[in-house]
Structure 1
């Protein structure tokens, strides 16, 4: 059973590094979703791409993300803002449709690996830059609290999430503008991405991104999700978010730059 996971690792990647990256990516998903609503989970995809081809990585991660969503939903089940979710769901559905078309275009053009490297890496670098700028006191244009901004944020998140599982910062930036209480912010993000990830399943199965081999790899790593979730819930309660987030964003930026380099090479 474990051999099936090893066969997914490219021959030029050291096995120990690949396994460490895979375990780290899954733990980060649990920590991010239960502790911080998913924003820092942007590191998971480029980290897993250190171990696997990006196209394989996104397929392996989706079932793990859904389990992380379920665990976090249970932990934060009483905290969410339906007013902010309503229009974001509408935009998210449209964004998934656009993301699915882009997937088809990339595959038809035989540039899937390059496109994913550039998309995932570029999204990581751009959004980490925006988040760090905000954390350092920089001013980003205000997002109005209306239906149009909700649909727009949800739409962008749907496209980015379909291609790269990296839309956490998009929704985080949108919701931060509306001064939600910390647990309401986390609970709202978790529910949005749970529904978004479920909606992505037909696309991933249809394109063969999720198959028997990737499901086996996902199943082997799934036990790490509750471990990461418990760590995330503990961090949410006792650890200052700012320094921890800086460290995670630094890792995401480094991994994202590496993917951009691979895409351009």
Structure 2
């Protein structure tokens, strides 16, 4: 199959080795995070890809890959979801996706989509890295109400953030962690939630041309990295201390996000 696929178009000035490394590492990290290891390290993926291709191309390439990873993850965590929390989150998320789609459409109409994606994705990634590191050292974040309105509000924020930057994992994890559910139920709820929301984002991304034949063909080259990442994540979950790995990934995320902000400032 791969003999028939056209090679990805690598932007001028980007070394081939760096493009391949960044793409493979990003997709591997998606698989690892979907397997339930590493907390929110999946936020690293999009900034990493956006450092080797334009931001609008990065979001288009990554969404189908995220959905494939979601399918693997849902299969791994089959029937471990909390239906009550899932329903609350999805009600808000659908509204957030509509709002995020309107924002993307407006930015596309103005011809400023790449600039704003660099700014938004970079800023959100840095905020989430700081937030996650603050939690890791024992800091207390504002508490989200545990009832349906807290779930719907979290879903709204997650749907909006996910549509704009594919990086809503920390928002949902903060909410679900406060529900004191077992880790299997927490991970199962998250992976099913993001599979549904990612599929719901597809029409907008296709309509705006962010997903097109070129991005789909480019993504196909890296699909094999997804099951590899899931297997690695399951293995690491049982054998590797999570905190050192997470710290290294967050440092990488901060560097990648900083470069996106630099691109936005100098674009």
Map 1:124-143 → 2, pairs under 5 A: 124-143=125-144
- TM-aligned CA deviation for residue 178 of structure 1: 1.4
2-side partners of 1:226 and 1:95: how far apart?
29
5 Å-filtered alignment, 1:1-265, equals: 4-7=6-9, 9-36=10-37, 39-265=40-266
CA contact (8 A) 2:26 2:49 kept: yes
Q: Is contact 1:125–1:253 with CA below 8 Å preserved after alignment?
A: yes
Contact 1:37 1:186 in 2 (8 A): no
Per the TM alignment, residue 90 of structure 1 is displaced from its structure 2 partner at its CA by 0.5
Deviation at 1:10, TM superposition (A): 1.3
Using the TM superposition, give the Cα deviation of residue 213 of structure 1 relative to its aligned residue in structure 2, in angstroms.
0.6
The alpha carbon displacement at 1:6 in A equals: 3.2
Any unmatched runs of 5+ in structure 2?
none
Q: CA deviation at 1:38?
A: 6.5
The superposition leaves residues 187-243 of structure 1 with CA deviations (integer Å, 9 ceiling, x where unpaired) of 111000000001001011111111111110111110110000101111122222222
Q: CA deviation at 1:78?
A: 3.1
Distance 2:206 2:249 in 1: 30
| 94-103 vs 247-256, greater mean Cα deviation | 247-256
- Which segment drifts farther, 141-150 or 123-132? 141-150
SS in 2 for 1:221: coil
Deviation at 1:116, TM superposition (A): 0.3
TM-score normalised by the chain length of structure 2? 0.95
How well do the aligned residues superpose, as a CA RMSD in angstroms? 1.4
Indicate if the aligned counterparts of 1:4 and 1:213 stay in contact, CA closer than 8 A.
Answer: no
- How many aligned residue pairs are there? 264
Structure 2 SS opposite 1:141: coil
